[in-house]
Amino acid sequence: MAGFGWFWKAMGSSTTANQKKSKTIVGEAEKASDRLSDVSDAEVVEIARSCIGSDEARTVEDAPLLLAAVREAASRTLGMRPFDVQLQGALRMLVGDVVEMATGEGKTLVGAMTAVGYGLQGKKVHVITVNSFLAGRDEQWMGPLLDFFGLTHGAIAEEAGPDARREVYSCDVVFGAINEIGFDVLRDQLITRREDAVRTPADVAVVDEADSVMVDEALVPLVLAGSEPGAGPAASITDLVRRMDEDRHFTVSGDRRNIFLTDAGSAFVEKQLGIDSLYGDESGDLLSQVNVALHAQHLLVRDVHYLVRDGAVALIDNSRGRVAELQRWPDGLQAAVEAKEGLTVTDGGRILDQVTIQALLGLYPQKCGMTGTAVAASDQLRQFYGLSVSVIDPNDPTQRFDEVDHVYAEATERDAAVIDHIVEIQRTGKPVLVGTQDVAQSESIADALVMRGVECNVLNAKNHEAEAGIIAEAGRPGRVTVSTQMAGRGTDIRLGGTEGEPGQEEHDRVVELGGLHVVGVGRFRSARLDNQLRGRAGRQGDPGYSVFFVSLEDDMVSVGGAGEELTAQPDEDGRMEQKKVLQFVDHCQRVTEGQMLDIHATTWKYNKLIADQRAIVNERRDRVLDTEAAWDDLSYHDVEKAGALQAAGIDHEVLVQAAREIMLHHLDHEWSEHLAYLDDVRESIHLRAIARESPIDEFHRLSIAAFGELAERAVSLARETFTEAEITADGVSLGDLGLHKPSATWTYMVNDNPLSSTGGSVMGSIASMFR
């Protein structure tokens, strides 16, 4: 990398300068450490606090001494003396960089030390993780270090209620999954009393797996929906769709992401339902119901995209291999899948609010992060967040060997070769970690291994609660662990098992055998995910090995290589070892990465305008929530009623709150209507390209025009409601006027592609959630 220093600087990574400066400061910290070993705990804390300036900015004035104090505290509380590279990582994060550190280098401790550094400056810190399991684990693990410095801390649990969440958010350091924090922001936008807010704003976001959170999912909208009956397909539609045949009544795109009715299919539906035209106005939303039912029946696969447990459909977050708790699909798709599985069909919903992860992170005045693969994402980190990347050398050079891919023409040949390979390696006594693409594949591989006499542990969304125990023992001799992407991030597999350390018999035995053997079944659509899986092996200088088995039928290859031809002759085992085959696989992955970046870039242009409009609505909402603005406006426009209410002796605070609830109801409803309108616009925006118009320019024109009327309409409706509503000493009852809030709300995430040419939100934006 030395020959390309100018390139990394241009991409936002000043590796040489940062490393040289940081190593100098860490070297000074090592000297300062000598005089801390014999002082009391209280003195260590006092020394650390003395490193923070007393001015209003409260910046770090003595970085070497602060690092030395934190290192000493970690040794006393956690039994771990941070390596120099860990201090270097914490230092770069304290100046606002994203650091790249290899797997096994102890990023969890680096994040905790960074949180201490910011916490001592009097700043509230959110340590953001990719899932709630890691948030809870890290908070419990690093808690003693935070306690040492008197910093309160807590973790946001998925099942936690408002009171528990409010208590956690009041802490100095909060550990939470990015989606949980985002959903709390959205839910706080529905409150009508400030004291009902759950989330307390923070000053700093310390982002773990920064490339995943800040780049891969940067433009993923987090959505809050409210119950609305009747959004799913009728039972007759579900039954009808089951009787339709592929290639006759409908066709499916090559990447299995979109589905299209044929003329024969439309005629079949019209005949079965006894209607003249499926596309006529009199048919209502029948076409949408048929499309949704087709999508659920033929594109969504049980144990790949969702599980059925306890009589309900549970979504799987494929990028993390986990059940997406409390999330559901929009636009009637949830109901369609429930009908497909013969379950009780739940209500549909309408979008109440949404926020992208990038916009969510924009709420934090300061941001920093850490990951094993930051340099590859440095351009986006700089463009989206203005952040630089610092590369931290490993404490011990990696000894992992990454073998070239084993490529096969067909998935069945690939899977057979994978099983043979695992059986062969397991017989040597080496521990094996098998990385699969989804739940179904993990179980298929595990079943095949059992048939060959190989016992294995399976880690996927069905048993995620056993994750810690399975990962803890995955490094034992002869252990085979089959996992989805759950084992790809945030986990640390010790050779020899839980207590695996040099000198321990099982640890040394596994080292002698060559370390952890990682087998990837299919390449991911991003090389960074491949590298995360590879990185499970070779931690902290341990030996390790990785190899990927790829089929030309894999999703990544079929999508990235669509329209291209490859001619190659497999050997007698079906493997294609030609260099051009390996190059083709790499090419396909680069294409799929490029497709995702194109979608992100385009989606950003659409979401940026919505985010700007959201900020304006938020500002108005905060003014209504925190002042008497609503009462001032409504009482001015109906002086007679306002006077009558006051004459009736109703407490002024009750009147202010009633006015506030009226105004907020209509403002929230109009914002929800605006989002629905924008969704409709985006469904047909691709037609603008056909008409040689710029889709993004036309979207901006239409959305700005619609938004200009939103506030005025909300205020006008609020004035009408104020005049009509009955306000008593108990407040206002909007339900008497038919103005109801949703009886239930839920959250979900959706990868939105506004340039979908499929002509509908279900067939376009929702389709991209699944693959």
Q: Judging by beta carbons within 10 Å of its beta carbon (0-12, 13-18, 19+), is residue 495 exposed, middle or buried? A: buried
Dump the DSSP string for 549-614. Answer: EEETTSHHHHHHTTT--------TTSB---HHHHHHHHHHHHHHHHHHHHHHHHHHHHHHHHHHHH
Alpha-carbon 88 to chain mean position: 27
82, pLDDT greater than 90: yes
Q: Which domains does the chain carry? A: 2-220+358-391 (3.40.50.300), 230-346 (3.90.1440.10), 399-593 (3.40.50.300), 624-740 (1.10.3060.10)
300, pLDDT greater than 80: yes
Dump pLDDT digits (tens) for 85-118. 999 999 999 999 999 998 778 899 999 999 999 9
| Strand-strand pairing, 399-402 and 543-551 | parallel
Q: Which residues contact 131 (CB under 8 A, 6 or more apart)?
A: 177, 320, 322, 490
For the residues 10-24, what does the mean pLDDT come to? 63
Helix, strand, or coil here: 535?
coil
Confidence category of residue 316, pLDDT binned at 50, 70, 90: confident
The span from the CA of 107 to the CA of 183, in Å, is: 26
For the residues 673-702, what does the mean pLDDT come to? 74
pLDDT reported for residue 350? 76
pLDDT reported for residue 10? 44
For the residues 711-717, what does the mean pLDDT come to? 94
Which of 231, 81, 209 lies closest to 488 in space, CA to CA? 209
72, pLDDT greater than 80: yes
Dump pLDDT digits (tens) for 237-248. 888 888 999 889
The residue behind tokens 């979608």 is: 599
CB atoms under 10 Å from CB of 713, counted, come to 15
| Strand-strand pairing, 731-732 and 432-435 | unpaired
pLDDT reported for residue 751? 42
End-to-end CA distance of the chain: 34
Q: Which residues are annotated as a binding site for ATP?
A: 86, 104-108, 492
Sign of CA dihedral 321, 327, 330, 333: positive
Alpha-carbon 111 to chain mean position: 19
Helix, strand, or coil here: 238?
helix
Torsion of CA 371, 373, 377, 378, to 10 degrees: 70
Output the furthest CA–CA distance in the chain (Å, rounded).
95
Q: Which residues are annotated as a binding site?
A: 86, 104-108, 492
